[in-house]
Amino acid sequence: MFRQARWRLVAWNTSIVALLLLLIGGAVYGFFSSNLYNGVDRLLLERQQRLVDQMSTVGADAVNEYSFNSQFHEPEYPALITDTSGRTDLSTACLSWMTAFGTTCPADTKTPFSPDAIRAASTQGQDFRTVTRNGEAERVLTFVAPPTLGYPTEVVQIAHSATGEENALSELRRLLLFGGFLGVLFAGACGLFLANKSLVPIREAFERQRQFTADASHELRTPLALIRANAEMLGRSRTLHPEDSVLSDEIIEETDHLNRLVSDLLTLARADTGALQIIAKPVDLRSVVSDVHEDVRLIAQERGISSGVSLNGAVMVAGDEGRLRQLLLILLDNAIKYTDSGGEVNVELSRAENRARLVVEDTGIGIPKADLPHIFDRFYRVDRVREHESGGTGLGLSIAQWIVQAHHGSIRAEEAAGGGTKFQVDLPLAPGKSSGGGSKTS
């Protein structure tokens, strides 16, 4: 129990620190990236303003000015002019080729830097983005140029190398990831240390309480036995008044109830300390179910409750036969206890996904949905009056859950289809399991 609590605390502490580091790292990366590209973007905006000013001065000739005048544009700022569909009209790369070689420029010199940016700028007027071109990162400014006389709307793309910026961001990512990894490891180590320190007093208090429960349960057995023996002797006395005889019977009945409570408390206390060990041996669960049902069937008949059992072949599990019998007795006793005369209690044993499945279902008063998550808690009672009248201690289902968990199985309760309650237990099958024919009795 404490091991699970410790690792849950470590997991929560590490998760919170990891989330904080992620938020801080994201904020640092975003701030650094924004500031890193601000300088490049300002330079691109200056080139944009030059072209816009030139176009407003000389009109359509600004295209030629931009293309041929080496003082107007720089080689480190390649540009191209397209229409809104992405068809390139002019590009500095194409014109540089033609100037150098005097031949028609290759098609790749007229390829837009980013078709997506052209579409975005066509609707938004301007777009900044970083793209990879010829294996290198470039910052691209795309904008819609003012219309010139006789010319359709032009879209201009101006690029500038962003290799330095991307290298810096890549280095920052590595630093953030490495720092975050170390931070998470440190948080996990600190969380484990703090969890161990914080659980020490809780563990000590729990151990003292558990030892007290075990000692008290053990010490109470002797006085309870004496009280019952004295009550029996008093009840057999011939001089006892009839009304006092009734009180003697009530003392014996309450003493029996306390004995059951002490026995259940001692069982759970020993289970908590690990004193109760489950010695796993091959057990024919079909035989166990059949025998226990036969014993309980007579009790059910006395209360006007019909019972049935469905055994679908031999089912072998690895476990403690005595504890498995106790488990089934608890579930059947619980079903009979909360089923009125005329109701039914049914037991079914089968295989399901390589596991033994035991189902105990009744048509009784049922369990409210709000109570279902708590019925395995110690001393939790759905109907306190009926539980006490029937001799229950409120610990039966807690013991049943411990037995199932000790056998590495699972148990759950749910509302039955026709009303009442359905308990389902799944247990691992024993190695070398075999199957046989099914049977059904009532």
Give one word for 25, left, alpha or beta, with left for phi > 0 and alpha for psi -120 to 50. Answer: alpha
Query: Residue 129, exposed/middle/buried by CB under 10 A (0-12, 13-18, 19+)?
Result: middle
Q: What are phi and psi of 331, to 5 degrees?
A: -65, -40
- Top-confidence residue, 223 or 285: 285
Q: How far apart are CA 122 and CA 143, in angstroms?
A: 8
Q: Which residue has the higher pLDDT, 402 or 217?
A: 402
Task: Please write the tens of the pLDDT for every residue from 111-170.
Answer: 888 888 888 888 888 899 988 888 888 899 998 876 654 556 678 888 888 888 888 888
How confident is the model over 57-89, as pLDDT tens digits?
Answer: 665 555 555 555 555 557 788 888 887 777 877
pLDDT in tens, 325-338: 888 988 998 888 88
Residue 236's Cβ-count burial label (10 Å; 0-12, 13-18, 19+) is exposed
How many CB atoms lie under 10 A from the CB of residue 231? 19
- The fraction of the chain above a pLDDT of 70, given in percent, is 79
**pLDDT in the model for residue 435:** 45
Structure tokens at 131: 């793209």
Strands (E), 86-125: 88-91
More confident residue, 184 or 215: 184
Q: Which DSSP state fits 360?
A: E
Both tokens of 98, joined, read 């033609």
Q: In CATH, what number does 2-170 get?
A: 3.30.450.20
Beta-strand runs (E) in 341-409: 344-351, 355-362
Domain boundaries, the chain: 2-170, 281-441
Cβ partners under 8 Å of residue 431, min gap 6: 318
| Sign of the Cα pseudo-torsion (71, 77, 83, 89, in order) | positive
**37 half-sphere exposure, CB direction, 13 A CA radius:** 21
More confidently predicted of 55 and 105:
105
Encode pLDDT of 339-370 as tens digits. 888 888 999 999 887 889 999 998 888 888 87
- Domain 281-441, CATH homologous superfamily name and number: Histidine kinase-like ATPase, C-terminal domain (3.30.565.10)
Report which listed range, 22-31, 56-65, 414-423, is most confident.
22-31
**With bands split at pLDDT 50, 70 and 90, how would you rate the model's confidence at 314?**
confident
